[in-house]
Amino acid sequence: MTSPATVTYVGTATILLRLGDLTVLTDPAFDPAPADYPGARPLRRTAGPALTADQLPPIDLVLLSHDQHFDNLDLAGRDVLARAATVLTTPEAAERLLGDDGDGRPAARIEGLAPWESRSVTAGATTVTVTATPARHGPEGTEHVTGPVTGFVVQYDGGTLYVSGDTVRHDALADIGARFTLDTAFLHLGDAHFPTTGDRAFSMSAREGAALARTLGARTVVPLHFDSWAHLAEDPARIDEAFAAPDLAGRLRRLRPGVAETL
């Protein structure tokens, strides 16, 4: 790449990546706050994104971990999908989105990837390889409730990064570090809990994220998905505490909302 790779933290699970000529967005959620979303597990957004959808540049690629939860894809985010050139997600999400006849129907090329399946995406002089990785959005046996989720590894000229998607820590994640040498890992944390599900967690805690960081071996870990929603109940200070362990010293990197920073 002729220019450094950059990342802008938009909020929750949404980041904007510039990799050479290619612009990547993850899990687009751009509704203003406060916002309430009814359902079997109601969600409440308590803080808005650092950028609005109208402030985004043209998007070449959206990495969508899943489509059924508003903290990863909300109403404004569906409009962003419609303007993106390519969307990669789970096979189930791709089928739903392509079958949507409403205003949120994507005009993009949208494709579902099974775990370990890869695709190359090109914009200008830049080509990246995206590989879907295992993810599980809750305790074993809750998949019928949470639905399928995927993470992503992105290999580009200059590095390799991992975006976990909404997942709890489980054995399949160990294969990611075995298959790839990771420069940066974006981990979805927050220890998500809901009143109706008791003590069962639906995303990693800070302690679990630190344990996964050891397994992955990434040089840098960037926490995502840890605030701005009522169900992300863990105090963000726990992240700094978990990564203060001597063997993780210097790995944690927090991003400033709305500011493009060099990877």
Q: pLDDT of 67-116, one tens digit each?
A: 988 999 999 999 999 999 999 999 999 999 987 644 545 556 999 999 99
Per-residue confidence (pLDDT) for residue 198, from 0 to 100: 63
- Dihedral sign of CA atoms 230, 231, 237, 239 in order: negative
Contact 61, 121 (CB under 8 A): yes
- Report residue 185's pLDDT band, with 50, 70 and 90 as the boundaries: very high
φ, ψ of residue 19 in degrees (nearest 5): -115, 95
Reply yes or no on whether the pLDDT at 238 is more than 50.
yes
Structural domains in the chain? 6-243 (3.60.15.10)
User: How far is the C-alpha of 104 from the C-alpha of 156, rounded, in Å?
Assistant: 30
Per-residue confidence (pLDDT) for residue 147, from 0 to 100: 66
Average pLDDT over every residue of 232-242: 95
Per-residue confidence (pLDDT) for residue 86, from 0 to 100: 97
Q: Which range is least confidently modeled, 64-68, 118-122, 136-140?
A: 136-140
Reply yes or no on whether the pLDDT at 1 is more than 60.
no
Average pLDDT over every residue of 210-225: 96
User: How far is the C-alpha of 197 from the C-alpha of 206, rounded, in Å?
Assistant: 20
Residues in the chain: 263
